[in-house]
Amino acid sequence: MDFYILLSLLFLALMPEVSIADPNVTVAQGMLVGKTVNFTEENFINVNKDVDIYLGVPFAEPPRRFKPPVAKQPWDGPLNVTEFKDACTQIPLIGTIMESMSEDCLYLNVYSPSPKPTNATVMVWIHGGGFTSGTANQYDYYGVPLVAVGDVIVVTINYRLGVFAKFTTKDAEAPGNVGMLDQVAALQWINDNIEAFGGDKDRITLFGESAGGAAVEYLTLSKRSRGLFNQAIIQSGSTVPNWSFDRRPAEMEVQDAKNLGEALGCDTSPSTVLIACLETKNATEIISSSVPAYSTCPVSVDGDFLDDEPANLYKNKDFTRCPILTGTNRDEGTLLLIALFPTDASNAPRPEVNSSGLDGLIRSVSASYGVTEDILIAAIRQEYTDWTIADNSSANQMPSFIEYAGDQGFSCPSDQFARYHAGVGDTVFKYFFTHEPSGSVYQGFPEWFGAGHGEELTFVFGTPFVEQLSDRDIYLLTDEEKTLSVKMMKSWTNFAKYGDPTHGANPNEGLGSWPSFTVPELSYKEISLDIANDGVGRALKARQCHFWNDYFPKLQKFVASQSMDDLSEWQNEFKNWQGQLTNWQQAYDEYKEAPKCN
């Protein structure tokens, strides 16, 4: 036996770019050879650890366009996995940097403590980007700091995006949702092979942000992913918004596919002919012709990955029961403002809008959600108008619009998700990130972006400690911000290991109190620079979320059931009431300012 071991070591030593000092593991498909890096940080983390890295590990065969993923077949000899692979083909989002891209992109990255641990907790990261952009293959999601802080294994995965993930003919030729099926394939590979890295397949926590957070929620709803993970962290993501879930009839999705084919000169029937033609087109041609139909690429019901609408699955309690950590950021709505008023100047002033402009913005955004009825628009405007300045028709109502966009798209769907899981007895922890970082995670975003969408990522991944990002603003954070990053990494890894973000925490670590979210207590943790002393709040945005999650759906049903004459009469009464409210507010303000009787 010793002879064969010696022979194997000699073989490895003779392989190009492979040293016997390099870490290696044997998975179901063959041997992987990675690299070991040292992570030393003495000022904030006080750590000196080695981390084994395996970058660009194939978890599936190079995908056939529009087809579900196929499990990776065995390879011959050791496979050197020390460099990131290409990102999946896409149109990068504003404020992001994307280098090499390819349709051959189904790879994952593994970051593991060195020496190899035993039964380590595993954290699987799913990147965001609206299901149309993003990649795991970048240093923004470099797992080394998390591994060093929490002694966990971090895995980051790629999945197909945009038209290459969404396109469907609703048959076997192009079943749709293949980007989500890529994620399932990655999770299956992790379950089959993570023990080789020293991980415990029975302690896998998914975590993701934005579309990645929505993907995590979808994975809690899909039967295809049952048993492949044990906990979930959802950061500013949801299955509720239209960018995340496609409520249209299946026929409209098929029509999108035919329209794409026609734009590229393909016969569109039968689907075998359409797909065969599209396979002859290069990726650039397909992307160029996919806009606007595939500008957003939400998940849809397909009977395979997703059996029913999320609302129905929750109603029937047909979802994975597991501990949950979820939350949003204070200024989520500034993301929509950036989309409506693009700028690449960090010192650009925040746009302003008067009451008439607020109405126009609400109408425009609501129309994208299929909400066009005047009564529904009036209800939203009634809820979000700042009535303290409503008498001044030129006063700036933009803060109201930002709050509206954040509540409707992120905060209130997150609240609803937390309630679903708390309602069946799952342990739920909720956070509200309020710190405005001194350097944005997005390149060139204006200062008024605030505690915006995705800004917590810098702190969750410890990017101020990643030398490869030293030319970015997020590397140049203040000492207080670096301390916050360490505390958030500890909280996230504590949840992954123990199901509680403060479990086992040393009082000197300054994580503060973080009670679970239950009904009716509705507790949440505010996260800012003073995380140790930040108060634990309750009923975050209770009024706004009652509006979106309870009142507004009922109003929609009411409107749908009424005749046009009834609606016109009701609307006139509502407008009269709005006018009376403004007059009452003005009279009340005058009363408060009037001299008091002695």
> Using one digit for the tens of pLDDT, what is the confidence trace for 380-412?
999 999 999 999 999 999 999 999 999 999 999
Tell the CATH topology of 84-337+407-504.
Rossmann fold (3.40.50)
Task: Please give the Cα distance from 55 to 36 (Å, whole number).
Answer: 11
Least confident of 88-97, 112-121, 513-522: 88-97
Residue range 32-41: mean pLDDT, rounded = 97
pLDDT at 420 over 60: yes
Looking at residue 13, what is its pLDDT?
41
Q: What is this structure's pTM?
A: 0.90
In the numeric block, the tokens 């199901």 are attached to 499
Q: Annotated catalytic residue: which of 332, 383, 436, 456?
A: 332
Task: List the structure tokens of 450.
Answer: 């605030």
Neighbours of 589 (CB within 10 A): 12
Give the three-class secondary structure for 33: strand
Residue percentage of the chain with pLDDT more than 70: 89
Q: Provide the pLDDT for residue 458.
A: 96
Instruction: Encode pLDDT of 320-330 as tens digits.
Output: 999 999 999 99
The CA distances from residue 327 to 172, 411, 504, in Å, are 37, 8, 22
82: number of Cβ within 10 Å: 15
Q: Which residues of 321-351 are buried (b: 16+ CB within 10 A; e: fewer)?
A: ebbbbbbbbbbbbbbbbbeeeebeeeeeebb
Kindly provide the b/e burial profile for residues 232-267, where b requires at least 16 CB atoms within 10 angstroms of the residue's own CB.
Answer: bbbbbbbbbbebbbbeeeeeebbebbbebbeebebe
**CA distance linking residue 466 with residue 141, whole number of Å:** 10
Residue of 203, 190, 200 whose CA lies nearest to 58: 190
- Give the tokens for residue 112: 């593991």
Query: What mean pLDDT value characterizes the chain?
Result: 91
The mean pLDDT of 298-302, rounded to a whole number, is 97
User: In angstroms, how far is the first alpha carbon of the chain from the final one?
Assistant: 103
Q: How far apart are CA 318 and CA 312, in angstroms?
A: 8
Q: What is the pLDDT of residue 3?
A: 45
Whether the per-residue pLDDT at 346 is higher than 70: the answer is yes
* pLDDT tens digits, 118-160: 999 999 999 999 999 999 999 999 999 999 999 999 999 999 9
Domain ranges of the chain: 84-337+407-504, 349-405+544-593
Q: What does the block give as tokens for 79? A: 């496979």
Query: What SS3 class is residue 26?
Result: strand
Confidence of residue 597 (pLDDT cuts 50, 70, 90): low
Q: Could you tell me the pLDDT band of residue 569, with boundaries at 50, 70 and 90?
A: low
pLDDT at 577: 61
pLDDT attached to residue 91: 86
Residue 436 falls in the annotated catalytic set: no
546 an active-site residue? no
- Which one of the listed residues 41, 400, 453, 491 is annotated catalytic? 453
Bridge partners of 298? none
Q: Which of 210, 238, 355, 400 is catalytic?
A: 210
Please, what sign has the CA dihedral across residues 258, 262, 265, 270? positive
- The average pLDDT across 18-27 equals 77
Q: Based on the residue annotation, tell me whether 503 is a catalytic residue of this protein.
A: no
Q: With bands split at pLDDT 50, 70 and 90, how would you rate the model's confidence at 566? A: low
- Helix and strand totals (H; E) in the chain: 19, 16
Q: Are 454 and 210 in contact (CB under 8 A)?
A: yes
CB of 120 within 8 A of CB of 195? no
544 vs 561, higher pLDDT: 544
Q: Which amino acid makes up residue 514?
A: W
CB 353 within 8 A of CB 400: no
Residue-level pLDDT at 508:
63
The 10s digit of each residue's pLDDT in 303-326 is 999 999 999 999 999 999 999 999
Rounded CA-CA distance 180/185 in Å is 9
Residue type, 485: S
The pLDDT, as a whole number, for residue 509 is 72
- The answer, yes or no, to whether residue 490 has pLDDT greater than 90, is yes
Query: Of 126, 127, 117, 104, whose CA–CA distance to 49 is shortest?
Result: 117
Split at pLDDT 50, 70, 90, the class of 332 is very high
Read off φ and ψ for residue 453, nearest 5 degrees: -60, 120
pLDDT in tens, 98-121: 678 999 999 999 999 999 999 999
User: Is-contact 440 111, C-beta < 8 A?
Assistant: no
Residue 379 scores a pLDDT above 80: yes
Rounded to an integer, the average pLDDT of 210-238 is 98
- Name residue, tokens 């239209």: 242
How far is residue 505 from each of residues 47, 123, 150, 485, 490, measured CA to CA in Å? Answer: 17, 19, 11, 15, 8
CA distances from 556 to 282, 548, 549 (A): 44, 11, 12
Query: Average of pLDDT values for 180-202?
Result: 99
Alpha helices in 194-331 (DSSP H): 211-221, 250-263, 271-278, 283-290, 310-315
DSSP three-state, residue 25: strand
Distance CA 498, CA 445 (A): 36
pLDDT band at 572 (very low <50, low <70, confident <90, very high): low
Higher pLDDT, 424 or 507: 424
For residues 226 and 390, give the distance between their C-alpha atoms in angstroms, rounded to a whole number: 51
Given pLDDT bands bounded at 50, 70 and 90, which one contains residue 368? confident
Dist. CA 516–CA 165, nearest whole Å: 36
Question: Over 50: is that where the pLDDT of 212 sits?
Answer: yes
Average pLDDT over residues 183-198: 99
User: Over 60: is that where the pLDDT of 334 sits?
Assistant: yes
Mean pLDDT of 250-276: 97
Single-letter residue type at 497: K
| pLDDT score of 14 | 40
Instruction: Specify whether the CB–CB gap between 339 and 386 falls below 8 A.
Output: no
- The DSSP result for 190-228, as a single string, is HHHHGGGGTEEEEEEEEEEETHHHHHHHHHHH-GGGTTS
Averaged over 584-595, what is the pLDDT? 67
Convert the pLDDT of each residue in 349-362 to its tens digit: 999 999 999 999 99
What ranges make up the beta strands (E) of 302-447?
324-329, 428-433
Please check whether residue 62 is in contact with residue 73, taking contact to mean a CB–CB distance below 8 angstroms. no
Amino acid in position 288: S
Mean predicted confidence (pLDDT) in 486-499: 97
Strand partners, 305: none
> What pLDDT does residue 343 have?
79
Beta-carbon contacts of 275 under 8 Å, excluding residues fewer than 6 positions away, are 65, 66, 169, 173, 174
Contact 235, 213 (CB under 8 A): yes
Q: From CA 524, how far away is CA 501, in angstroms rounded?
A: 12
| DSSP secondary structure letters along 389-415 | STTSTTS--HHHHHHHHHIIIIIHHHH
Beta bridge partners of 379: none
Mean pLDDT across 490-512: 86
| DSSP-derived secondary structure for 114-169 | ES--SSEEEEEEE--STTTS--SSSGGG--HHHHHHH--EEEEE----THHHH---
| Pair of tokens at residue 486 | 């360490």
Q: Find all residues with CB under 8 Å of 565, minimum gap 6, and list them.
A: none
pLDDT at 261: 97
